[in-house]
Chain A
Amino acid sequence: MSSNQCINWQGNLACIQQDGLVIKSRHTIDGNHVFGPDSDYTTLAVSGLSLLSEESEINTVTVSDNIDKLVLQACGYLVDEDGEWKINCANDSASISISKGVEMDWEVPGEETDRERYDLIKNAWLQEMNAVSQGAFVSEQAYRSGAASRMNFSSQQLGDIRIWPPREMIGDQRPVDAPPLGQSGIIESWTKLSAGGAPSEFSLRAPILGGIGTVFVKMNDGPRGVFLIADDETSEPEIGKVVSFGLRRIYAQDGLIRYGLKALIS
């Protein structure tokens, strides 16, 4: 990729410049970039870093407080106070600069989004932070321990077989750690759940979104998985279509936002 190339990347707008990269949400209200329904500074940062890492080596990063450091670490980035790369979040815009030096900016028009819908989603996320599970939920410990797999496809290997999500087998079925899976696969099945059919964790946002979409994917490396479709995906799912992946907010509970991978339909 040549410098100053600006592209649509994982549903965001990204521009690689000489000293780094600027990445913005594609959604705007009155010209100001605002987050999509499943996005925030953390998802933008991971999206930007994944693009930047195609051109540059990312060793250590320094981040501001509104980025979830554990998520970045789960995605394979080393967070350090004096990191080589600085991730700066714009104060009042869904925009991030990742650079080795000064903060960068980039003017780019986005897609105007409906303000009322945006406010509803934003408020739903705030309410969800106070949600308390009744049980049978993913505890913070379970969420953290599976984070590298959930956010970065960390996998295992047993003989010729790649395994994901990780399994905890015994004896000669015990797999060894393996590199992350490639982030591409084929849709083998899909569904869209109405608001009434979605799990209670999604009950605040599903009615606003008109339901939630899920795909059953066979990864190019072999394993299969179930993934939420990006909430702002514009393409319709179809068996045989190729998907790639990005980071998204999944749901919030007990004051903690859970992140995971979302399917982006090519």
Chain B
Amino acid sequence: MVDVAVIGAGQTKFGNHALGLKGMWAESAENAFASIDGDFEPSMVDEAFIGSIAFGGGQIGNTAALLTEHTGMDNIPVRRVENACASSGFAFRDAWMAIKSGQADIVVAGGIEKMNDLTPERKRFWLGVSGDTEWERLAGLTFPGTYALMARRHFHEFGSVHDDLVNISVKNHMHGLDNEYAHIRKDVSFDKAQNGFMVADPLTLYDCCPTSDGASTVILAADHVAKKLSEDPIWVLGSGAGSDHLALHDRPSITQLIASQRAARSAYDQAGIDASDIDMAEVHDCFTIAELMATEDLGFASRGEGGLFAREGRGRRNEGSVTINASGGLKSKGHPLGATGTGQVVEVFKQLRGEVESSRQVRDANTALTHNVGGSGATCAVHVFGRDLK
């Protein structure tokens, strides 16, 4: 079966944008096209998958067609992919499958979200649309509340503490400080993160990612094309995905994400590796507790030891066996919902090719992972990448 590589990847800065959907997509696509080593034209793209929640409702229907027509990909099959915050993680998986199936040679996977042109009231409404509407939202829960329930339970079951989450917050802000694409580029002290404004007890402002505008674009190619168009393709070694009950009350445990575990297992098996082989991971830290649980679900820490992992600083850049969220993660880099998944791939693509700012380069990184979660864990896509095709 054909192997698949990422041959180009680009994004906008995540944050508050003056540009709208079309402008952000154009900038992101242009950056991605420019990153391709060989002679490439947008007209060479066979198909496109674009992840978005269509936050705010500005362009809910046919979003993908509107965007691709502005970036030289006329008349090709396109569609919007929606799986909450994992939308573009799944768009990437769909693109990978399209090539794997033999139906396409060059496919675009991307994501986009415009979140900051809304009134606070409208924004609060849209921030809750991906949870269980009938039972959780009616009980006053949005995602800060949902993850707060997980955090408090994790503290209770495993003895993790809020300071463990503070460590994650401080680390990710430190990682994102030099990332020119990051939304929040500021050094955050332990003391400051420890004493943030309470959003959903026990989670403070420093445990929550920002709401960001942004777009990201990745170009995937079949091996025979990749070798022609790229001097240094980044190979997709494994693609895994999973799902779980939407509502927390239907899950046997709220201190782990079964969808993440399943997606990771599948991706590792495909790649023929395990967690210990991963040099860097971009994980879905929409809230700091989400990163803590991800380190367990992805196998970097044993069950219940995510707090200890964070406490010992084992995810810090170039300090442990794996760097967690070298980009700054959702916490610092930002979280434009639909754009986050392929935004993680952009970071991995550049890190593995040695193209990020030297101050934040992960040393000797050969194998990387992306972990993109939808909502509170109802969906998850995990991908494993390598400099070499194994």
Number of A-B contacts (CB under 8 A): 123
Query: Are B133 and A137 interface neighbours, CB within 8 A?
Result: yes
Residues of A within 8 A of B153 (CB): 188-189, 216, 239
Query: Are A228 and B121 interface neighbours, CB within 8 A?
Result: no
B190 contacts A by Cβ under 8 Å? no
Instruction: Give the complex CA separation of A191 and B57 in angstroms.
Output: 29
Residue interface bits A204-229, CB-to-B below 8 A is 1, else 0: 00000000101010000001111110
A190 contacts B by Cβ under 8 Å? yes
Residues of B within 8 A of A165 (CB): 134-135, 249
Report the minimum CB–CB distance from A152 to chain B (whole Å).
15
Residue interface bits A97-134, CB-to-B below 8 A is 1, else 0: 00000000000000000000000000000000000011
Report the minimum CB–CB distance from A97 to chain B (whole Å).
31
Query: Are A228 and B125 interface neighbours, CB within 8 A?
Result: no
Instruction: Give the complex CA separation of A184 and B140 in angstroms.
Output: 20
Which residue of chain B has its CB nearest to the CB of A262?
Answer: B139
A178 contacts B by Cβ under 8 Å? no
Query: Are B137 and A197 interface neighbours, CB within 8 A?
Result: no
**Residues of chain B from 153 to 204 with CB closer than 8 A to chain A in the complex:** 153, 156, 197-203
Query: Are A193 and B138 interface neighbours, CB within 8 A?
Result: no
Which residue of chain A has its CB nearest to the CB of B126?
Answer: A134
B325 contacts A by Cβ under 8 Å? no
Query: Are A199 and B198 interface neighbours, CB within 8 A?
Result: no
Report the minimum CB–CB distance from A197 to chain B (whole Å).
4
Query: Are A191 and B200 interface neighbours, CB within 8 A?
Result: yes
B248 contacts A by Cβ under 8 Å? yes
**B residues with CB within 8 A of A:** 57, 120-122, 124-126, 128-129, 133-142, 144-145, 148-150, 152-153, 156, 197-203, 247-250, 254
Closest 10 CB pairs of A and B: A191-B148, A200-B125, A136-B129, A226-B139, A189-B153, A224-B249, A189-B149, A200-B124, A197-B144, A192-B201
**A residues with CB within 8 A of B:** 133-138, 142, 146, 150, 165, 188-194, 196-203, 212, 214, 216, 223-228, 239, 250-251, 258, 260
Give 4 A-B pairs besides A135-B129, A226-B136 with Cβ atoms closer than 8 angstroms.
A137-B133, A193-B145, A199-B128, A224-B248
A to B CB contacts below 8 Å, 14 in the list: A134-B57, A134-B125, A138-B134, A189-B152, A191-B145, A191-B149, A191-B200, A191-B202, A196-B199, A198-B124, A214-B141, A226-B141, A250-B139, A260-B139
